[in-house]
Structure 1
Amino acid sequence: MSRRRIGQQSLRFSDVGSVASSLDRLSGLIDWTPIEVVLGDIYMAAKGEPAWPPLVLFKAMLLAVWYDLSDVKLSEALDDRASFRRFCGFSAQEATPERTAFVRLRKVLAERGLDKALFDEVTRQLKAKAIRVKTGTLVDATIIASARRGDDEARWVKHKGRKAVHGFKAHVGADADTALVEQVFITPANVNDGKAGPAALPDDPGDVFADSAYRGDHFNNAVRAKGGTPRVIITHVWSSAQDAKAALAYLDAHNRSIYRVRGRIEKIFGTWKRSYGLHRMRWCGLAKAAVQVRLTAIAYNLKRTLKLLAQPA
Protein backbone atom coordinates (compact mmCIF):
# COMPACT_ATOMS: atom_id res chain seq x y z
CA MET A 1 0.00 0.00 0.00
CA SER A 2 1.63 3.22 -1.13
CA ARG A 3 1.05 6.77 0.06
CA ARG A 4 1.65 9.99 -1.74
CA ARG A 5 4.66 12.01 -0.66
CA ILE A 6 3.81 15.69 -0.49
CA GLY A 7 6.03 18.76 -0.22
CA GLN A 8 8.79 17.16 -2.29
CA GLN A 9 8.86 20.12 -4.65
CA SER A 10 10.21 23.44 -3.41
CA LEU A 11 8.05 24.80 -0.60
CA ARG A 12 9.01 28.34 -1.53
CA PHE A 13 6.09 30.52 -2.50
CA SER A 14 6.28 33.73 -4.48
CA ASP A 15 6.13 36.96 -2.57
CA VAL A 16 2.65 37.57 -3.92
CA GLY A 17 0.11 35.99 -1.60
CA SER A 18 2.71 34.58 0.79
CA VAL A 19 2.09 36.99 3.67
CA ALA A 20 2.21 35.15 6.99
CA SER A 21 -1.24 34.33 8.32
CA SER A 22 -2.73 33.00 11.54
CA LEU A 23 -2.59 29.56 9.92
CA ASP A 24 1.20 29.67 10.08
CA ARG A 25 1.00 30.32 13.84
CA LEU A 26 -1.62 27.58 14.27
CA SER A 27 0.60 25.14 12.40
CA GLY A 28 3.37 25.63 14.96
CA LEU A 29 1.08 25.62 17.99
CA ILE A 30 1.21 21.89 18.70
CA ASP A 31 3.36 18.87 17.94
CA TRP A 32 1.55 17.09 15.11
CA THR A 33 3.56 13.87 15.51
CA PRO A 34 1.22 12.31 18.12
CA ILE A 35 -1.73 13.20 15.85
CA GLU A 36 0.02 11.40 13.01
CA VAL A 37 0.44 8.37 15.28
CA VAL A 38 -3.31 8.28 16.04
CA LEU A 39 -4.00 8.34 12.30
CA GLY A 40 -1.01 6.17 11.41
CA ASP A 41 -2.66 2.95 10.27
CA ILE A 42 -5.33 4.63 8.15
CA TYR A 43 -5.00 3.91 4.45
CA MET A 44 -7.66 5.26 2.11
CA ALA A 45 -7.37 5.64 -1.61
CA ALA A 46 -9.43 5.36 -4.74
CA LYS A 47 -8.71 2.11 -6.56
CA GLY A 48 -5.30 2.12 -8.21
CA GLU A 49 -4.15 5.43 -6.65
CA PRO A 50 -1.64 6.13 -3.86
CA ALA A 51 -3.32 7.29 -0.64
CA TRP A 52 -3.07 10.80 0.74
CA PRO A 53 -1.33 11.05 4.15
CA PRO A 54 -4.15 11.08 6.74
CA LEU A 55 -2.54 13.91 8.74
CA VAL A 56 -2.72 16.14 5.65
CA LEU A 57 -6.43 15.36 5.25
CA PHE A 58 -7.08 15.96 8.96
CA LYS A 59 -5.42 19.38 8.83
CA ALA A 60 -7.45 20.18 5.73
CA MET A 61 -10.64 19.25 7.58
CA LEU A 62 -9.72 21.76 10.30
CA LEU A 63 -9.54 24.39 7.56
CA ALA A 64 -13.04 23.36 6.52
CA VAL A 65 -14.27 24.10 10.06
CA TRP A 66 -12.49 27.45 10.43
CA TYR A 67 -13.71 28.70 7.07
CA ASP A 68 -17.07 26.86 7.01
CA LEU A 69 -16.33 25.02 3.77
CA SER A 70 -18.02 22.03 2.18
CA ASP A 71 -15.83 19.21 0.89
CA VAL A 72 -16.12 20.62 -2.63
CA LYS A 73 -15.20 24.15 -1.57
CA LEU A 74 -12.34 22.83 0.58
CA SER A 75 -10.88 20.97 -2.39
CA GLU A 76 -11.12 24.10 -4.53
CA ALA A 77 -9.54 26.30 -1.84
CA LEU A 78 -6.61 23.91 -1.34
CA ASP A 79 -5.95 24.13 -5.03
CA ASP A 80 -5.36 27.89 -5.09
CA ARG A 81 -4.78 29.33 -1.59
CA ALA A 82 -1.13 29.54 -0.56
CA SER A 83 -1.87 29.76 3.19
CA PHE A 84 -4.00 26.58 3.00
CA ARG A 85 -1.22 24.77 1.14
CA ARG A 86 1.41 25.80 3.67
CA PHE A 87 -0.76 24.72 6.61
CA CYS A 88 -1.27 21.25 5.13
CA GLY A 89 2.30 20.90 3.84
CA PHE A 90 1.76 21.10 0.09
CA SER A 91 4.28 22.79 -2.14
CA ALA A 92 3.22 25.54 -4.53
CA GLN A 93 2.60 23.39 -7.60
CA GLU A 94 1.66 19.84 -6.62
CA ALA A 95 -1.84 18.37 -6.82
CA THR A 96 -4.21 18.45 -3.84
CA PRO A 97 -6.95 16.01 -2.76
CA GLU A 98 -10.36 15.69 -4.37
CA ARG A 99 -13.41 15.93 -2.11
CA THR A 100 -13.77 12.13 -2.01
CA ALA A 101 -10.58 11.88 0.06
CA PHE A 102 -12.25 13.82 2.88
CA VAL A 103 -15.37 11.65 2.62
CA ARG A 104 -13.25 8.52 3.05
CA LEU A 105 -11.32 9.89 6.03
CA ARG A 106 -14.51 11.01 7.77
CA LYS A 107 -15.98 7.54 7.28
CA VAL A 108 -12.95 5.90 8.90
CA LEU A 109 -12.92 8.35 11.82
CA ALA A 110 -16.59 7.61 12.48
CA GLU A 111 -16.22 3.83 12.15
CA ARG A 112 -13.21 3.66 14.49
CA GLY A 113 -14.22 6.42 16.90
CA LEU A 114 -10.88 8.14 16.32
CA ASP A 115 -12.43 11.60 16.64
CA LYS A 116 -12.29 11.26 20.45
CA ALA A 117 -8.63 10.19 20.43
CA LEU A 118 -7.78 13.16 18.20
CA PHE A 119 -9.73 15.57 20.42
CA ASP A 120 -8.10 14.21 23.59
CA GLU A 121 -4.55 14.50 22.20
CA VAL A 122 -4.94 18.02 20.81
CA THR A 123 -6.68 19.21 23.99
CA ARG A 124 -3.97 17.65 26.18
CA GLN A 125 -1.29 19.63 24.39
CA LEU A 126 -3.26 22.88 24.37
CA LYS A 127 -4.11 22.71 28.08
CA ALA A 128 -0.39 22.32 28.83
CA LYS A 129 0.35 25.49 26.85
CA ALA A 130 -2.45 27.61 28.32
CA ILE A 131 -1.69 26.73 31.93
CA ARG A 132 -3.93 28.50 34.42
CA VAL A 133 -4.92 27.60 37.97
CA LYS A 134 -8.13 25.66 37.37
CA THR A 135 -11.01 26.99 39.45
CA GLY A 136 -14.06 25.58 37.74
CA THR A 137 -15.87 23.95 34.85
CA LEU A 138 -18.80 25.08 32.72
CA VAL A 139 -21.24 22.35 31.70
CA ASP A 140 -24.05 22.83 29.21
CA ALA A 141 -25.56 21.36 26.05
CA THR A 142 -26.55 22.76 22.69
CA ILE A 143 -28.94 21.33 20.10
CA ILE A 144 -27.78 20.98 16.50
CA ALA A 145 -30.27 20.30 13.72
CA SER A 146 -29.83 17.11 11.72
CA ALA A 147 -28.64 17.13 8.11
CA ARG A 148 -32.10 15.98 7.08
CA ARG A 149 -35.28 14.79 8.74
CA GLY A 150 -34.73 11.32 7.33
CA ASP A 151 -31.79 10.78 9.72
CA ASP A 152 -33.22 7.98 11.89
CA GLU A 153 -30.50 8.36 14.55
CA ALA A 154 -31.56 11.95 15.31
CA ARG A 155 -34.54 12.75 17.53
CA TRP A 156 -37.09 15.51 17.96
CA VAL A 157 -36.94 17.83 20.96
CA LYS A 158 -39.24 20.69 21.92
CA HIS A 159 -38.46 23.36 24.50
CA LYS A 160 -41.07 25.73 25.83
CA GLY A 161 -41.43 28.80 23.64
CA ARG A 162 -39.22 27.41 20.88
CA LYS A 163 -39.78 25.47 17.67
CA ALA A 164 -39.25 21.71 17.76
CA VAL A 165 -35.86 20.62 16.40
CA HIS A 166 -34.88 17.30 14.85
CA GLY A 167 -31.24 16.67 15.57
CA PHE A 168 -28.50 15.91 18.04
CA LYS A 169 -27.20 17.41 21.26
CA ALA A 170 -23.59 18.26 22.11
CA HIS A 171 -22.89 18.04 25.85
CA VAL A 172 -19.81 20.11 26.67
CA GLY A 173 -17.53 20.66 29.62
CA ALA A 174 -15.25 23.71 29.35
CA ASP A 175 -12.68 25.32 31.61
CA ALA A 176 -14.32 28.24 33.41
CA ASP A 177 -11.21 30.45 33.11
CA THR A 178 -9.69 29.69 29.71
CA ALA A 179 -12.95 28.63 27.96
CA LEU A 180 -11.09 25.68 26.42
CA VAL A 181 -13.40 22.74 25.74
CA GLU A 182 -12.23 19.74 27.79
CA GLN A 183 -14.92 17.12 27.20
CA VAL A 184 -17.53 16.53 24.50
CA PHE A 185 -20.32 13.95 24.43
CA ILE A 186 -22.88 13.66 21.62
CA THR A 187 -26.39 12.20 21.91
CA PRO A 188 -29.71 12.38 20.09
CA ALA A 189 -31.44 15.69 20.88
CA ASN A 190 -34.05 14.20 23.21
CA VAL A 191 -31.55 12.96 25.82
CA ASN A 192 -31.91 14.86 29.11
CA ASP A 193 -29.06 17.26 29.91
CA GLY A 194 -28.73 16.07 33.51
CA LYS A 195 -28.62 12.42 32.46
CA ALA A 196 -25.84 12.96 29.91
CA GLY A 197 -24.04 15.67 31.91
CA PRO A 198 -21.61 13.36 33.76
CA ALA A 199 -20.04 12.35 30.42
CA ALA A 200 -19.08 16.01 29.87
CA LEU A 201 -17.15 16.30 33.14
CA PRO A 202 -13.34 16.44 33.07
CA ASP A 203 -11.25 15.09 35.94
CA ASP A 204 -10.86 17.41 38.95
CA PRO A 205 -13.48 19.85 37.66
CA GLY A 206 -13.46 22.25 40.63
CA ASP A 207 -16.69 24.23 40.96
CA VAL A 208 -19.08 23.00 38.26
CA PHE A 209 -21.43 25.70 36.97
CA ALA A 210 -24.62 24.47 35.30
CA ASP A 211 -28.22 25.55 34.72
CA SER A 212 -31.34 24.10 36.31
CA ALA A 213 -31.50 21.20 33.83
CA TYR A 214 -28.67 19.63 35.84
CA ARG A 215 -30.51 19.55 39.15
CA GLY A 216 -30.75 16.16 40.80
CA ASP A 217 -28.60 13.53 42.44
CA HIS A 218 -27.47 11.85 39.22
CA PHE A 219 -25.42 14.83 38.08
CA ASN A 220 -24.48 16.17 41.51
CA ASN A 221 -23.15 12.81 42.67
CA ALA A 222 -21.11 12.48 39.48
CA VAL A 223 -19.55 15.92 40.10
CA ARG A 224 -18.61 14.96 43.67
CA ALA A 225 -17.21 11.60 42.51
CA LYS A 226 -14.85 13.55 40.23
CA GLY A 227 -13.74 15.71 43.15
CA GLY A 228 -15.82 18.75 42.20
CA THR A 229 -18.48 20.92 43.79
CA PRO A 230 -21.83 21.34 42.00
CA ARG A 231 -22.90 24.96 41.47
CA VAL A 232 -26.29 24.47 39.85
CA ILE A 233 -29.07 26.99 39.26
CA ILE A 234 -32.04 26.41 41.59
CA THR A 235 -35.60 27.41 40.73
CA HIS A 236 -37.22 27.39 44.16
CA VAL A 237 -36.55 27.11 47.89
CA TRP A 238 -38.95 26.06 50.60
CA SER A 239 -39.85 28.65 53.20
CA SER A 240 -42.65 29.78 55.44
CA ALA A 241 -44.72 32.82 54.55
CA GLN A 242 -42.78 34.85 57.10
CA ASP A 243 -39.44 33.91 55.55
CA ALA A 244 -40.47 34.34 51.91
CA LYS A 245 -38.54 37.56 51.41
CA ALA A 246 -35.34 36.09 52.82
CA ALA A 247 -35.79 32.96 50.70
CA LEU A 248 -36.16 34.99 47.52
CA ALA A 249 -33.07 37.00 48.40
CA TYR A 250 -31.12 33.77 48.91
CA LEU A 251 -32.39 32.37 45.58
CA ASP A 252 -31.36 35.52 43.73
CA ALA A 253 -27.90 35.69 45.30
CA HIS A 254 -27.23 31.99 44.69
CA ASN A 255 -28.27 32.09 41.04
CA ARG A 256 -26.69 35.43 40.15
CA SER A 257 -23.17 34.23 40.97
CA ILE A 258 -23.69 31.11 38.84
CA TYR A 259 -25.26 32.93 35.87
CA ARG A 260 -22.32 35.34 35.78
CA VAL A 261 -19.86 32.45 35.24
CA ARG A 262 -21.82 29.83 33.28
CA GLY A 263 -22.89 32.36 30.65
CA ARG A 264 -19.38 32.12 29.19
CA ILE A 265 -20.19 28.76 27.61
CA GLU A 266 -22.81 30.43 25.40
CA LYS A 267 -19.96 32.29 23.67
CA ILE A 268 -18.41 28.93 22.80
CA PHE A 269 -21.66 27.68 21.27
CA GLY A 270 -22.11 31.01 19.48
CA THR A 271 -18.69 30.71 17.85
CA TRP A 272 -19.39 27.14 16.80
CA LYS A 273 -22.70 28.02 15.18
CA ARG A 274 -22.08 31.50 13.76
CA SER A 275 -18.48 31.12 12.62
CA TYR A 276 -17.93 27.38 12.15
CA GLY A 277 -21.23 26.37 10.56
CA LEU A 278 -22.40 24.07 13.36
CA HIS A 279 -25.99 25.31 13.28
CA ARG A 280 -26.74 22.15 11.26
CA MET A 281 -25.04 18.77 10.83
CA ARG A 282 -23.49 18.18 7.42
CA TRP A 283 -23.83 14.39 7.50
CA CYS A 284 -26.29 11.79 8.83
CA GLY A 285 -25.85 9.45 11.78
CA LEU A 286 -24.69 9.79 15.38
CA ALA A 287 -21.09 8.70 14.68
CA LYS A 288 -20.60 11.31 11.94
CA ALA A 289 -22.31 13.92 14.10
CA ALA A 290 -19.71 13.16 16.78
CA VAL A 291 -16.91 13.59 14.22
CA GLN A 292 -18.27 16.98 13.13
CA VAL A 293 -18.72 18.25 16.69
CA ARG A 294 -15.29 17.10 17.86
CA LEU A 295 -13.56 18.52 14.79
CA THR A 296 -15.31 21.80 15.58
CA ALA A 297 -14.16 21.61 19.22
CA ILE A 298 -10.56 20.90 18.12
CA ALA A 299 -10.60 23.82 15.69
CA TYR A 300 -12.11 26.11 18.35
CA ASN A 301 -9.55 25.07 20.99
CA LEU A 302 -6.63 25.72 18.64
CA LYS A 303 -7.84 29.24 17.84
CA ARG A 304 -8.75 29.91 21.47
CA THR A 305 -5.29 28.87 22.68
CA LEU A 306 -3.62 31.10 20.09
CA LYS A 307 -5.63 34.00 21.51
CA LEU A 308 -4.80 33.10 25.12
CA LEU A 309 -1.09 32.94 24.40
CA ALA A 310 -1.23 36.36 22.77
CA GLN A 311 -2.66 37.93 25.94
CA PRO A 312 -0.33 39.49 28.53
CA ALA A 313 0.43 37.16 31.44
Structure 2
Amino acid sequence: MASARWGNADALGKTQGKAAANGFKAHVGTDVDTALDEEISVTFANIYDSRAGSEALPDNPGDVFVDSAYRGNHFRDAGCAKDGIPWIVATGMWGRDEKETLSKPHEWNQPIHRLRGRIEKKFGKWKRCYGFSRMLWRGLAKAAVQVRLTAIAYNLKRTMNILAAAVFW
Protein backbone atom coordinates (compact mmCIF):
# COMPACT_ATOMS: atom_id res chain seq x y z
CA MET A 1 0.00 0.00 0.00
CA ALA A 2 1.50 3.31 -1.03
CA SER A 3 1.22 6.17 1.40
CA ALA A 4 -0.18 9.52 0.37
CA ARG A 5 2.11 12.33 -0.73
CA TRP A 6 1.79 16.07 -0.70
CA GLY A 7 3.50 18.45 -3.06
CA ASN A 8 3.83 22.11 -2.40
CA ALA A 9 5.70 25.14 -3.58
CA ASP A 10 6.78 28.03 -1.47
CA ALA A 11 8.00 31.07 -3.35
CA LEU A 12 10.94 33.00 -1.98
CA GLY A 13 11.48 36.52 -3.22
CA LYS A 14 7.94 37.20 -4.48
CA THR A 15 5.26 38.80 -2.35
CA GLN A 16 1.69 39.82 -3.07
CA GLY A 17 1.07 43.44 -3.90
CA LYS A 18 4.74 44.22 -4.45
CA ALA A 19 6.97 44.17 -7.48
CA ALA A 20 8.27 40.75 -8.43
CA ALA A 21 11.85 39.97 -7.48
CA ASN A 22 14.13 37.16 -8.45
CA GLY A 23 13.32 34.13 -6.36
CA PHE A 24 13.04 30.39 -6.14
CA LYS A 25 10.38 27.80 -5.36
CA ALA A 26 10.81 24.59 -3.44
CA HIS A 27 8.59 21.73 -4.58
CA VAL A 28 8.56 19.15 -1.81
CA GLY A 29 7.22 15.61 -1.87
CA THR A 30 6.26 14.74 1.70
CA ASP A 31 4.94 11.60 3.32
CA VAL A 32 1.61 12.54 4.89
CA ASP A 33 1.82 10.07 7.76
CA THR A 34 5.26 11.07 9.06
CA ALA A 35 5.64 14.57 7.50
CA LEU A 36 9.15 13.64 6.37
CA ASP A 37 10.47 15.09 3.10
CA GLU A 38 11.14 12.48 0.43
CA GLU A 39 11.68 14.34 -2.84
CA ILE A 40 12.69 17.96 -3.44
CA SER A 41 12.87 20.07 -6.55
CA VAL A 42 13.98 23.72 -6.66
CA THR A 43 13.07 25.99 -9.57
CA PHE A 44 13.03 29.66 -10.41
CA ALA A 45 9.93 31.47 -9.15
CA ASN A 46 8.70 32.38 -12.64
CA ILE A 47 8.15 28.73 -13.67
CA TYR A 48 4.61 27.46 -13.29
CA ASP A 49 4.08 25.00 -10.46
CA SER A 50 2.19 22.58 -12.69
CA ARG A 51 5.24 22.28 -14.97
CA ALA A 52 7.92 21.88 -12.30
CA GLY A 53 6.08 20.06 -9.52
CA SER A 54 6.26 16.65 -11.17
CA GLU A 55 10.00 16.53 -10.42
CA ALA A 56 9.17 16.24 -6.69
CA LEU A 57 7.06 13.11 -7.21
CA PRO A 58 8.68 9.88 -5.99
CA ASP A 59 8.27 6.61 -7.88
CA ASN A 60 4.91 4.94 -7.20
CA PRO A 61 3.59 7.84 -5.06
CA GLY A 62 0.06 6.53 -4.42
CA ASP A 63 -2.40 9.35 -3.70
CA VAL A 64 -0.88 12.76 -4.42
CA PHE A 65 -2.58 15.70 -2.64
CA VAL A 66 -1.64 19.10 -4.08
CA ASP A 67 -3.01 22.62 -4.06
CA SER A 68 -4.58 24.37 -7.03
CA ALA A 69 -1.27 25.75 -8.35
CA TYR A 70 -0.53 22.25 -9.69
CA ARG A 71 -3.72 22.13 -11.74
CA GLY A 72 -3.01 21.25 -15.33
CA ASN A 73 -2.45 18.36 -17.70
CA HIS A 74 1.34 18.35 -17.34
CA PHE A 75 1.32 17.53 -13.61
CA ARG A 76 -1.69 15.22 -13.84
CA ASP A 77 -0.09 13.21 -16.67
CA ALA A 78 3.24 13.00 -14.82
CA GLY A 79 1.49 11.75 -11.68
CA CYS A 80 -0.46 9.13 -13.60
CA ALA A 81 2.71 8.03 -15.43
CA LYS A 82 4.31 7.23 -12.04
CA ASP A 83 1.20 5.27 -10.97
CA GLY A 84 -0.04 8.10 -8.75
CA ILE A 85 -3.56 9.40 -8.27
CA PRO A 86 -3.57 13.22 -8.24
CA TRP A 87 -6.01 14.96 -5.86
CA ILE A 88 -5.95 18.63 -6.82
CA VAL A 89 -7.81 21.30 -4.84
CA ALA A 90 -10.84 22.64 -6.75
CA THR A 91 -11.13 26.43 -6.55
CA GLY A 92 -14.16 27.41 -8.58
CA MET A 93 -17.03 25.89 -10.54
CA TRP A 94 -19.83 27.12 -12.74
CA GLY A 95 -23.39 25.92 -12.53
CA ARG A 96 -27.03 26.95 -12.58
CA ASP A 97 -27.95 25.83 -9.08
CA GLU A 98 -25.76 27.82 -6.69
CA LYS A 99 -26.21 25.54 -3.68
CA GLU A 100 -25.34 22.40 -5.64
CA THR A 101 -22.42 24.08 -7.39
CA LEU A 102 -20.91 25.31 -4.11
CA SER A 103 -21.30 21.91 -2.43
CA LYS A 104 -19.25 20.08 -5.09
CA PRO A 105 -15.88 21.75 -4.39
CA HIS A 106 -16.53 21.53 -0.65
CA GLU A 107 -17.05 17.77 -0.85
CA TRP A 108 -14.02 17.33 -3.13
CA ASN A 109 -11.69 19.53 -1.05
CA GLN A 110 -12.62 18.23 2.41
CA PRO A 111 -10.21 15.24 2.50
CA ILE A 112 -7.50 17.31 0.79
CA HIS A 113 -7.67 20.19 3.29
CA ARG A 114 -7.28 17.88 6.28
CA LEU A 115 -3.93 16.70 4.94
CA ARG A 116 -2.91 20.09 3.57
CA GLY A 117 -2.96 21.70 7.01
CA ARG A 118 -0.43 19.20 8.35
CA ILE A 119 2.03 19.83 5.55
CA GLU A 120 1.63 23.62 5.40
CA LYS A 121 2.88 23.77 9.00
CA LYS A 122 6.20 22.45 7.74
CA PHE A 123 6.86 25.52 5.61
CA GLY A 124 6.03 27.76 8.55
CA LYS A 125 8.53 25.85 10.69
CA TRP A 126 11.16 26.07 7.94
CA LYS A 127 10.74 29.85 7.87
CA ARG A 128 10.41 30.37 11.61
CA CYS A 129 13.07 27.99 12.94
CA TYR A 130 15.47 27.26 10.10
CA GLY A 131 15.91 30.69 8.49
CA PHE A 132 14.18 29.76 5.25
CA SER A 133 12.49 33.15 4.80
CA ARG A 134 15.32 34.29 2.57
CA MET A 135 18.08 32.72 0.54
CA LEU A 136 21.63 32.96 1.81
CA TRP A 137 23.31 32.55 -1.58
CA ARG A 138 22.61 33.51 -5.18
CA GLY A 139 21.98 31.03 -7.94
CA LEU A 140 19.74 28.04 -8.48
CA ALA A 141 22.33 25.43 -7.47
CA LYS A 142 23.11 27.20 -4.19
CA ALA A 143 19.41 27.75 -3.48
CA ALA A 144 18.86 24.02 -4.00
CA VAL A 145 21.64 23.30 -1.49
CA GLN A 146 19.97 25.56 1.09
CA VAL A 147 16.58 23.92 0.55
CA ARG A 148 18.03 20.42 0.86
CA LEU A 149 20.02 21.32 4.00
CA THR A 150 16.86 22.76 5.54
CA ALA A 151 14.97 19.57 4.65
CA ILE A 152 17.71 17.42 6.19
CA ALA A 153 17.63 19.44 9.42
CA TYR A 154 13.84 19.24 9.54
CA ASN A 155 13.83 15.49 8.84
CA LEU A 156 16.41 14.82 11.58
CA LYS A 157 14.42 16.80 14.15
CA ARG A 158 11.13 15.22 13.04
CA THR A 159 12.63 11.71 13.17
CA MET A 160 13.86 12.33 16.73
CA ASN A 161 10.33 13.43 17.73
CA ILE A 162 8.75 10.36 16.08
CA LEU A 163 11.20 7.99 17.78
CA ALA A 164 10.77 9.71 21.16
CA ALA A 165 6.99 9.38 20.88
CA ALA A 166 7.30 5.70 19.94
CA VAL A 167 9.55 4.97 22.93
CA PHE A 168 7.35 6.93 25.32
CA TRP A 169 4.18 5.07 24.34
TM-score for both structures, normalised by structure 2: 0.90
State the AA in 2 paired with 1:185: S
Structure 1: which amino acid aligns with 2:25?
K
Match of 1:192 in 2: 48
| Structure ranking higher in strand proportion | 2
1:138 counterpart letter in structure 2: W
Structure-to-structure mapping, 1:64-103, within 5 angstroms: none
Instruction: After TM superposition, list the pairs within 5 Å mapping 1:1-313 onto structure 2.
Output: 134-145=2-13, 157=14, 159=16, 161=17, 164-239=20-95, 241=96, 243-312=97-166
CA positional deviation for 1:199: 0.4
**Separation of aligned partners in 1, 2:18 and 2:116:** 22
Whole-angstrom CA distance in 2 between matches of 1:277 and 1:270: 10
Distance 1:302 1:183 in 2: 15
C-alpha deviation, 1:162, in angstroms: 6.1
State the distance in 1 between where 2:23 and 2:134 align.
8
Larger Rg: 1
Distance in 2 between residues matched to 1:275 and 1:250, nearest whole Å: 38
**For residues 265 and 163 of structure 1, what CA distance do their matches in structure 2 show?**
28
- Aligned to 1:259, what secondary structure does the other structure show? helix
Per-residue CA deviations over 1:17-63 (Å, capped at 9, x if unaligned) read xxxxxxxxxxxxxxxxxxxxxxxxxxxxxxxxxxxxxxxxxxxxxxx
Cα pair distance change 1:201/1:162, threshold 3 Å: farther
Secondary structure of the 1:221 match is helix
Q: CA deviation at 1:164?
A: 3.6
Letter in structure 2 aligned against 1:176:
V
After TM superposition, the score normalised by the length of structure 1 is 0.50
In the alignment, is the contact (CA less than 8 A) between 1:187 and 1:286 conserved in 2? yes
Deviation of 1:139 after TM superposition, in Å, equals 0.5
Deviation at 1:214, TM superposition (A): 1.0
Q: Where does structure 1 lack aligned partners over 5 or more consecutive residues?
A: 1-132, 146-156
Counterpart CA distance in 2 for 1:134 and 1:269 is 24
AA partner of residue 142 (structure 1) = D
Q: Give the deviation of 1:189 after TM superposition.
A: 1.2
Mapped to 2, the partners of 1:289 and 1:164 lie a distance apart of 18
Q: CA RMSD in A?
A: 1.8
**Identity across matched positions, percent:** 54
Q: Distance in 1 between matches of 2:93 and 2:85?
A: 20
Whole-angstrom CA distance in 2 between matches of 1:188 and 1:236: 27
- Secondary structure at the residue paired with 1:177? coil
Structure 2: tracts of 5 or more residues without a match? none
